[in-house]
Structure 1
Amino acid sequence: MRDTGEVDTELGDFLRTRRARLQPEEVGLASYGARRVPGLRREELAQLAGVSVTYYTRLEQGQSQNASDDVLDAIARALRLNDDETAHLRNLARPAKRKRRQTSRPETARPSTRQLILAMDGVAVVAMDRRSDVLAWNTLGHQLLGSHYDVNSPYSVGTRPNLTRMLFLDSHTRELYARWDDEAKRSIASLRLVAGRHPDDRHLAELIGELSMKSTEFAALWSRHPVLNCTFGVKYFHHPVVGQIELAFEVVQMPDDSAHRILMYSAEPGTPSEAALRLLGASTQQTASEKAPQDS
């Protein structure tokens, strides 16, 4: 049940989920009376943050977009937010001045980026945009994540894979991840950060809407408003060709304003996973068709 007069906003949803996970006794407050909803009440959080209940309520309902850094930091401390959650709070509380939506050209990876990715050996590499649309991949990247797609599919908007859509709607991809639940949570937490940074991205909103309609698991996880900048870690695969494989991953942001990212998977030297990755690379010979076509 929501508070009376509740207004649906991304900021409000985020703050409510974070209030719900804290109990008064955890933050040194006495709890009085029955609670209709779990967690801290608005007045309790306002007290902890040192702001008025009226001000906090307006902020949570999206009626104030001029909150200072000091106020947002105080709320973040009261809610015990981590660094990623605090950054997300600022993005939602003070959205960038909205620009008039214009028809944008399809995203493409630079030819030099494609060339670099194809030249990388022993590492599975994928270039993607902020929505996790695949813009390019090397042989290992294709074989690891999307061998059931045509190798050239990233180079056409109509056939381009999307890693998040694949994760929730593609049965082959679902079977690929040995710890699918962990991967799903990580994917949504990262997508939440991106959505907070780009609230006017129509294509991103359409992707979120599509997944919310077609996947009850996505909708349930999305409603919890997880937030995490997932730039490194370990993933566990059950690959149909080489079996169990454990790979470290790193995500590198391109040093421009494109918001393109490079996702790289590698195996620890001398491990069975390294042998499996080598076998996967050797299972498919490179051909001329693996080279990206020139932009028209």
Structure 2
Amino acid sequence: MGTPLGDFVRAKRDSIRPESFGIPERGRRRSPGLRRTDLAARAGISVEYLTRIEQGRDRNPSPAVVNALADGLSLDAGERDHLRYLAKISNGSCVTGRLPEPPGREVRPTVLATLRLLEPAAAYVTNRLGDVLAHTDGLARLARGSGLLDGPAPNLTRYAFTDARARTFFADWEQVADELAFDLWFAPTVESSQWLRAQLEPLAGEEFTRRLERRLPPPRLPLRVNVPDLPGAPELRWDRERLELPGGEGQELVVLLPADEATEQAAERLSRGSGAGLRAIG
């Protein structure tokens, strides 16, 4: 049986074209990607040891080996963090016997003040579980009628996988679903990720679990949405600026910026609507 670490290393290795590393083609291959022998040589470990890691038979590689694998795979900063996180999961050092609890939902007053300054832009504070912890009125106007912010504790991940309206609101639902499932690997704690996974797996089924096991980070593309409260508007395209907030809860400030002129014009129309102002969801 494999491990999250081994599955990621194997999936990443299979996704790499050898020629991108300056490795010449050596004839017909049984499988695509970088050979184990090539990765082992780049990482300075034996092929046998790499095989044990990928197959889950070695669950506790040293930090030096994990870093060597990151170098061998030419991982970027985000992927390196993900690799180290998976190493902790695989050897069980992050798992405790306590019942998992959701992370705190409190947002610092200074962050709320920053959100107020961003009006009428669509912006919100979230965490890697997808909780919407606070948002501008600009986001409320954008999402009005979609169901995204319904309920006392809105959650992007739960909405995407369990609310049928999400497939209409998110024009690229598949892309959004991939992003949200992958982000669970970076949840504030392993326990909080397990807590949400236990809730969603019976409801979302294979659509959710298949994405959880994909391991590789999806590309971050512009967000395309259909606005129920703006009849006749085209699909709106937004660039997303994600700012990690200091603290132990893994919170992020996300700002949606119009990615084209049509979206900018539609955003101006939305900003003329009346709203209730900033909302913090405690």
Which deviates more, 121-130 or 181-190?
181-190
The code of the aligned residue for 1:263 comes to V
Q: Does 1:223 align with 2:213?
A: yes
The CA deviation at 1:132 is 0.7
Calculate the TM-score normalised by the size of structure 1: 0.73
The code of the aligned residue for 2:84 comes to R
1:238–1:31 distance in 2 versus 1, CA, 3 Å = same
Identity %: 25
Alignment of 1:124-163 (within 5 A): 124-145=122-143, 147-149=145-147, 153=151, 156=152, 160-163=153-156
The 8 Å contact of residues 188 and 226 in structure 1, kept in 2 or not, is answered as no
CA deviation map 1:257-295 (0-9, x unaligned): 1212222213379x34233112223234438xx7558x7
1:151–1:115 distance in 2 versus 1, CA, 3 Å = farther
Q: Does 1:199 align with 2:190?
A: yes
Whole-Å separation in 2 of the counterparts to 1:143 and 1:210: 32
Larger RCO (CA within 8 A; separation ≥ 6): 2
Q: Does 1:9 align with 2:3?
A: yes
The CA deviation at 1:111 is 6.5
How large is the RMSD of aligned CA atoms in angstroms?
Answer: 3.6
Whole-Å separation in 2 of the counterparts to 1:221 and 1:106: 23
In the alignment, what sits opposite 1:110? 107
The 8 Å contact of residues 126 and 135 in structure 1, kept in 2 or not, is answered as yes
The 8 Å contact of residues 140 and 149 in structure 2, kept in 1 or not, is answered as yes
In the alignment, what sits opposite 2:75? 81
The 8 Å contact of residues 117 and 126 in structure 1, kept in 2 or not, is answered as yes
The CA deviation at 1:43 is 4.4
46, 57, 74: which is aligned to 1:52?
A: 46
For structure 2, the 5+ residue unaligned runs are none
The 8 Å contact of residues 157 and 180 in structure 2, kept in 1 or not, is answered as yes
The CA deviation at 1:115 is 5.6
The code of the aligned residue for 2:98 comes to R
Q: Does 1:274 align with 2:264?
A: yes
Whole-Å separation in 2 of the counterparts to 1:272 and 1:223: 37
Calculate the TM-score normalised by the size of structure 2: 0.76
The code of the aligned residue for 2:164 comes to S
Whole-Å separation in 2 of the counterparts to 1:64 and 1:203: 23
The 8 Å contact of residues 148 and 154 in structure 2, kept in 1 or not, is answered as no
Q: Does 1:67 align with 2:62?
A: yes
Q: Does 1:237 align with 2:221?
A: no
CA deviation map 1:119-163 (0-9, x unaligned): 64221122223301112222221222354449673xx3xxx2221
Aligned residue for 2:265, secondary structure, equals helix
The CA deviation at 1:249 is 1.8
The 8 Å contact of residues 248 and 266 in structure 1, kept in 2 or not, is answered as yes
Report the count of equivalent residues: 272
1:281–1:34 distance in 2 versus 1, CA, 3 Å = closer
Q: Does 1:209 align with 2:201?
A: yes
Whole-Å separation in 1 of the counterparts to 2:224 and 2:167: 12
In the alignment, what sits opposite 2:180? 187
1:261–1:32 distance in 2 versus 1, CA, 3 Å = same
The 8 Å contact of residues 237 and 258 in structure 2, kept in 1 or not, is answered as yes
In the alignment, what sits opposite 1:171? 164
The CA deviation at 1:24 is 5.9
Aligned residue for 1:273, secondary structure, equals helix
For structure 1, the 5+ residue unaligned runs are 1-6
